[in-house]
């Protein structure tokens, strides 16, 4: 029945018994009706459809393929940048943790030299704590200043 | 976002590269395209209900087809593969934020009969069909179109939409019943 519809033989140019059966059988009636409707729409839509020329589709596909291959070629470089950035962050953190024990005695020595200038021991201790905190904050700020451009680069790149 | 642009020289080079990258020559593609473009465009149009989207998906379908590495046994296999790409693209698009297909105020629907309708009646029926199809699930639309517009076998349809052949018959039956119901009532209840 579907074949008859698709070959435009339904209902007049096909077996009359088939048509008679379709009129009696609910399922076949439905199949014939739906198939006729969809096939008719498909046939007419084909004539109405506007498609771009083959050359145009080929040209767009060729350009797209070139763009895709360019992107694919730059992908390893982007990965390399990422790995370099991660390594730089690791080195920086390692340097900060390695330098911290050396910074502390230097601060203590500097404090010992400056302590004589303070009027009381409490004031000297408060200033010492402040200096230690400032040094830590300074190191964090320096790290952020170094990492921010890297972070921006990766955030704005497409990979 | 990093934008890639091509110079004129690169564009020219892209054509030579395309012959190597794509799975067929430009001449073979032209022949294949002339045979398949209109039916595929109509299929995409009916599946999406959006002409602009169908145009975009048509280009994407042929691009993916050209970039595929499948060894085709014959033209039928090639054609089925093309529809499979188109079907997947439509389904992928549906999974993105949903855009409802606008339903216009359409004439009173009527159930088709086995008589030759006149032009106006045919046009009305096509509008009814488009409206009814827009209420079906994308997979149901695909099944019905592949079966009754293209005359594909159950095996071919099952392979194209990614279901088991045994499951297809009842699915197609249900889809057909739903469409018939929608055509009778003029829309979902």
pLDDT band at B32 (very low <50, low <70, confident <90, very high): very high
CB–CB of B178/B140 below 8 Å? yes
Residue A32: closest C-alpha in chain B: B114
Q: What percent of chain B has pLDDT over 70?
A: 77
Q: In the Cβ-directed half-sphere of A133, how many Cα atoms lie within 13 Å?
A: 6
A-chain CB neighbours of B22 within 8 Å are 61-62, 65
Q: Does B174 touch chain A (CB under 8 A)?
A: no
A-chain CB neighbours of B14 within 8 Å are 62-63, 65-66
Shortest CA gap A80–chain B (Å): 17
Residue extents of the structural domains in chain A: 2-48, 73-156
pLDDT band at B108 (very low <50, low <70, confident <90, very high): very low
B-chain CB neighbours of A35 within 8 Å are 147-148
In terms of pLDDT, which residue wins out, A14 or B114?
A14
Measured CA to CA, the distance from residue B18 to residue B24 in angstroms comes to 9
pLDDT computed for residue B104 by the predictor: 42
Residue A61: closest C-alpha in chain B: B63
- Which residues, numbered 31 to 90 in chain B, qualify as contacts with chain A under a Cβ-Cβ cut-off of 8 Å? 33-34, 37-39, 41-42, 45-46, 55, 58-59, 62-63, 66-67
Asked if residue A11 has a cis previous peptide bond (ω within 30° of 0), the answer is yes
pLDDT computed for residue B5 by the predictor: 63
In terms of pLDDT, which residue wins out, B5 or B167?
B167
pLDDT band at B117 (very low <50, low <70, confident <90, very high): low
CB–CB of A88/B77 below 8 Å? no
B-chain CB neighbours of A33 within 8 Å are 111-114, 180
pLDDT computed for residue B29 by the predictor: 92
Complex confidence, ipTM: 0.74
pLDDT band at B148 (very low <50, low <70, confident <90, very high): very high
pLDDT computed for residue B2 by the predictor: 52
pLDDT computed for residue B110 by the predictor: 44
CB–CB of B111/B183 below 8 Å? yes
Lowest-confidence segment of A8-17, B122-131, B153-162 by average pLDDT: A8-17
Closest CA to B87 of B1, B132, B146, B35: B146
Between A23, A37, A156, which is nearest B112 by CB?
A37
State pLDDT tens for residues A33-79. 899 889 988 988 888 888 999 999 999 999 888 888 888 888 888 88
pLDDT band at B179 (very low <50, low <70, confident <90, very high): very high
**Segments of chain A with pLDDT less than 50:** 159
Name the CA radius of gyration of chain B, rounded: 19
Q: Is A98 exposed, middle or buried (0-12, 13-18, 19+ CB in 10 A)?
A: exposed
């Amino acid at each position: 029945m579907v074949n008859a519809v698709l070959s435009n033989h339904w209902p007049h140019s096909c077996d009359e018994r088939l048509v008679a059966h379709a009129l009696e059988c609910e399922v076949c009636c439905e199949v014939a009706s739906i198939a006729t409707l969809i096939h008719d729409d498909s046939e007419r839509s084909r004539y109405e459809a506007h498609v771009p020329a083959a050359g145009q589709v080929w040209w767009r596909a060729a350009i797209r393929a070139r763009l895709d291959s360019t992107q694919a070629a730059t992908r390893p470089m982007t990965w390399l940048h990422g790995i370099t950035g991660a390594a730089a962050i690791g080195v920086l953190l390692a340097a900060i943790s390695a330098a911290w024990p050396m910074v502390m005695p230097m601060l203590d020595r500097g404090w010992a030299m400056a302590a004589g200038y303070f009027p009381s021991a409490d004031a000297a201790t408060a200033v010492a704590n402040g200096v230690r905190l400032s040094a830590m904050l300074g190191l964090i700020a320096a790290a952020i200043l170094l990492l921010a451009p890297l972070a921006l680069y990766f955030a704005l790149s497409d990979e | 976002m990093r934008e890639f642009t091509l110079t004129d020289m690169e564009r020219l080079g892209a054509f030579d590269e395309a012959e190597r990258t794509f799975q067929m020559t430009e001449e073979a593609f032209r022949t294949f395209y002339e045979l398949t473009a209109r039916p595929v465009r109509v299929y995409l149009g009916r599946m999406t209900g959006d002409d602009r989207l169908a145009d975009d998906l048509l280009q994407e379908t042929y691009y993916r087809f050209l970039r595929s590495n499948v060894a085709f046994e014959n033209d039928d296999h090639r054609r089925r593969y093309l529809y499979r790409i188109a079907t997947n693209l439509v389904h992928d698009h549906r999974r993105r934020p949903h855009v409802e297909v606008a339903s216009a105020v359409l004439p009173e629907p009527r159930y088709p009969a086995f008589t030759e309708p006149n032009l106006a009646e045919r046009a009305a029926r096509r509008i009814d069909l488009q409206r009814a199809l827009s209420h079906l699930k994308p997979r149901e639309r695909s099944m019905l179109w592949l079966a009754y517009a293209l005359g594909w076998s159950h095996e071919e349809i099952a392979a194209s939409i990614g279901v088991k052949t045994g499951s297809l018959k009842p699915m197609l039956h249900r889809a057909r019943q739903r469409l018939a119901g929608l055509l009778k009532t003029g829309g979902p209840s």
